[in-house]
Chains A and B, each alone.
Chain A
Amino acid sequence: MATSITNSRPICTYPIPMSIQSKLSKAGFLTTGSVANLRPSELSSSAEISLEDAADVLDLVRKPNGLFLETKTALEILREEQRNYPIVTMSQNIDKILNGGVPLAKITEISGIAGVGKTQLCLQLCVTVQMPEECGGLKGHAVYIDTEGSFNASRLQDMSQACIEHCRNAMNLAAENWNLASITENIFVFRCKEVTELLSCVMILKEFLKTHDQVKLIVIDSLAFHFRHDMENAALRSRVLHKIAAELARLAVESKLAVVVTNQMTTKFDSKGQGRLTPALGTSWGHAPTFRLILDWDPSRSFRWATLIKSSSLPPGSAPYQKIARVVKLYRFSNQGYLFPY
């Protein structure tokens, strides 16, 4: 019965100027309940006070009952964004085009042809997200949803070892601060073999994150695979994809974590019958990720390129749909992962 108690709270107990208090009581507004459900214009005309004063009164009265919009100003968001350091990829050039790394609270899509290194980049992120703060990391945990069965623990171990050594040599990290065992402990792998498993898995993540609040990265490798065969109906597919995208976006914002999904490339035929490679899952999915990164081979196959094709934080007018925003020469594969940019 808590609501009735606050509803019967007299108006005179609120910090309202006397002149307005008297006008309100003259008009018969004595308790919270009598005012709380009025519109500002109604209150202003019936108590003969100005619209601004009425809004102030309503704000005062409604706030303790939780009846107000939770807004944030752009400045506050900016402060938050500046506090959310991105997850560095350890490849200087990719970090550069992503403005520091994979951003938190956003969905980032990585697409590219087979064998170009999408899974490698995801594994690498699982390691770098765990770097201690003094090395520019987030000391977060990672969730890895594996639909293709390509998660490779021994490769992950190699990368972790290389990353730890790099931190110790280049940034003088004390040896006891970070070790291999903690890296492998803090990655949670979910192997989804069918589309329904993937759906359920995304839906239970909310519960999972409640008990694992240090998770700063969710990887889905790959989102496309099951959707390309288990869902023949294109309309159904795009609806389910949006359901997943909405859930992921919510998780990303609420828990301030980065979501990385990988996508496959498919051949799309234009009106002239010319085939060209584009990310799969259709155009409507393209709206869901905030950042879209395409990895590709250079024709000589001696190095790879990363191209940012969609981003919300580029200067206006410089990134029309599908226009290449920025291209960067990429890493070379080495045993240590991408630690050494080409």
Chain B
Amino acid sequence: MTNNLKLKAIGLPTAITDKLANHSIITVQDYLTLNLIELQRKTGLTYQKLSSISENVNKFIAPLGISVNRLLQPSHVLFNDDLDTFLKGGITCGHITEFSGAPGLGKTQLCLQLALSNALYGKVNGVLYIDSEGAFSASRLLDIAVHKYGIATEKNIQSSLNKIHLWRPCSLKEIVDNLISIEVLVVKEHIGLLIIDSMGSIVRRDFGVEKSIERGAQMCSLSSSLKRIAHDFNLAVVVTNHVTAKVEPTLTNFNGQPTSIPALGPSWSHWINSRLHLFIAQNKRRLMVSKSPEIPELIVDYCISKGGLDIQCETCSSPAY
């Protein structure tokens, strides 16, 4: 949280911080958003003095350069399933990944499956499942455990279910207000996966069309905070989203492309790192990677069985260009 970091905390002499505080320049953000001439006018300090202060502040705040080699091994959260191969390793840690799709296509199934497989086999300990639709079902988890992963012993199931922590907030504001509590839980329970099911419902419930600017601001700051948590603790963030109808029905799904688009607007699409879109085309359920920094656009058919979501690998096809 460098925005609200006090100037006092970064090792400047107290004489200077007091002087700046008199002119209501208290946090790093206050200081950095003013230019030197304005600072000079406000505080009466000399230009040389201020530029050396700025240098200290910048040096303290700016992140260090990282070489690419250190970024080469991104860790993934796994489905322990064919999906991992399809997604080139699974859900990337440090990213926000979105599952979008029409109701009933299997967004929640994907989330449950991911949570369970992570609790069963994951290297990290806990999963935080934020459920706003009331769709979470522990007995469904049990089903998946038995049918997909063939886990039968009670002890195994108990210990893995114990790792999944469920939280049911009522509004977007509640999530934003509890970000620090979330961070505390993340550290305490060694959370490696954070799921919000569903972002679409929680946002659309709180904000109508008339409040779109406020909604945008809150969502953007939530996404920034989630990204920061994801990066700091190297955990994967998964959110689900609703869909809305495509406004221009010019092209019917002649090449198997979706006719619905993810909800929450174009800006939100920028604020996530990758997106998996579920849709129905040509009477088949299809899963598409529609945004990802590493995977080219891919479409695959899938079906939902007792064991959860299955991709049919033999019909796995590249986009029909």
Q: Tell me whether B85 is interfacial, beta carbon within 8 Å.
A: no
**When A152-B294, A230-B221 are in contact, do A113 and B269 touch as well, CB less than 8 Å?**
yes
Residues of B near A152 (CB, < 8 A) are 74, 293-294
**Chain B residues with CB under 8 A of A226:** 224
Q: Does B141 contact A (CB under 8 A)?
A: no
Interface of A is mostly: mixed
Q: How far is the CA of A42 from the CA of B209 in the complex (A)?
A: 70
B9 interface hit (Cβ, 8 Å): no
Q: Which residues of A contact B19 (CB under 8 A)?
A: none
Among A154, A203, A224, A299, which residue has its beta carbon within 8 angstroms of that of B248?
A299
Q: What 0/1 readout, one digit per residue, does chain A (259-289) give for beta carbons within 8 Å of chain B?
A: 0000011110000000001001000000000
Instruction: Evaluate whether A190 and B94 lie within 8 angstroms (CB atoms) in the complex, with A113-B269, A229-B220 already known.
Output: no
Interface size on A, residues (CB 8 A): 65
Q: Assess the A190–B1 pair: CB atoms within 8 A.
A: no
Q: Does B273 contact A (CB under 8 A)?
A: yes
The answer, yes or no, to whether B230 is at the interface (CB within 8 Å) is: yes
Q: Is A187 an interface residue (CB 8 A)?
A: yes
How far, in whole Å, are A157 and B58 apart by their CA atoms in the complex?
31
What is the distance, in angstroms, from B95's C-beta to the closest C-beta of chain A?
Answer: 6
Chain B, residues 211-255, CB within 8 Å of chain A (1/0): the string is: 000001100110110011011000000000000000010110001
Whether, in the assembled complex, B156 has its beta carbon less than 8 Å from a beta carbon of chain A, the answer is: no
Q: For chain B residues 50-99, which have a beta carbon within 8 Å of chain A?
A: 54, 57-69, 71-72, 74, 94-95
Given A201-B63, A228-B220, A229-B217: A196 touches B94 (CB 8 Å cut-off): no
Is A97 in contact with chain B by the CB < 8 A criterion?
no
User: Does A39 have its Cβ within 8 Å of any Cβ on chain B?
Assistant: no
State whether A150 touches B266 (Cβ < 8 A): no
A-facing residues in B11-51 (Cβ within 8 Å): 28-29, 32-33, 35
**CB-based contact B63/A190 at 8 Å:** yes
Contact for B65 among A189, A194, A332, CB less than 8 A: A189
- CB-nearest residue of chain A to B88: A154
CA distance A80 to B182 in the complex (A): 55
**A119 CA / B223 CA spacing, docked (Å):** 18
Using Cβ atoms and an 8 Å threshold, which residues of chain B touch A150?
95, 273, 293
Query: Does A335 sit at the interface, judged by CB under 8 A?
Result: yes
Considering the chains assembled together, what is the distance between the CA atoms of A236 and B33 in angstroms? 8
- Contacts A185-B69, A302-B321, A332-B321 known; A193 to B227 CB distance under 8 Å? yes
Task: Say whether A153 faces chain B, with CB atoms less than 8 Å apart.
Answer: yes
Interface size class of B (residues with CB under 8 A): 35 or more
Q: How far is the CB of A36 from chain B (nearest CB, A)?
A: 26
Asked if B312 CB lies within 8 Å of chain A CBs, one says no
Chain A residues near B220: list those with CB within 8 A: 225, 228-229
A303 to B216, CA, bound (A): 29
Q: How far is the CA of A199 from the CA of B57 in the complex (A)?
A: 11
CB contact between A228 and one of B58, B267, B294 (< 8 Å): that residue: B267
Q: Any chain A CB within 8 A of the CB of B206?
A: no
Contact A188 B267 (CB under 8 A): no
Q: Are B62 and A201 in contact (CB under 8 A)?
A: yes
Q: B58 and A203: CB pair below 8 A?
A: yes
B172 to chain A, nearest CB (A): 14
Q: Does B181 contact A (CB under 8 A)?
A: no
CB-defined interface of B263-275 with A at 8 Å, one 1/0 digit per residue?
A: 0011101111101
Residues of A within 8 Å of B63, CB to CB, are 190-193, 197, 201
Q: How far is the CA of A335 from the CA of B88 in the complex (A)?
A: 12
* In the complex, chain A residues whose CB is within 8 Å of the CB of B227: 148-149, 193
Inter-chain contact A194/B2, CB cutoff 8 Å: yes
List 8 tightest A-B contacts by C-beta distance, closest first: A115-B291, A114-B269, A229-B220, A200-B61, A200-B62, A184-B68, A153-B71, A188-B65
- B residues with a Cβ closer than 8 A to A are 1-3, 5, 28-29, 32-33, 35, 54, 57-69, 71-72, 74, 94-95, 216-217, 220-221, 223-224, 227-228, 230-231, 248, 250-251, 255, 257, 265-267, 269-273, 275, 290-294, 296-297, 321
User: Could you list 28 examples of A-B contacts with CB < 8 Å?
Assistant: A113-B269, A114-B266, A114-B291, A115-B275, A115-B292, A149-B230, A150-B293, A155-B294, A184-B68, A188-B65, A188-B66, A190-B63, A190-B65, A196-B32, A197-B2, A197-B62, A199-B58, A200-B32, A200-B57, A200-B58, A200-B59, A203-B54, A204-B59, A208-B65, A239-B33, A266-B267, A299-B251, A333-B296
Instruction: List residues of chain A with CB under 8 Å of any chain B CB.
Output: 113-115, 119-120, 123, 143, 148-157, 183-185, 187-197, 199-201, 203-204, 208, 222, 224-226, 228-232, 236, 239-240, 243, 264-267, 277, 280, 299-303, 332-335
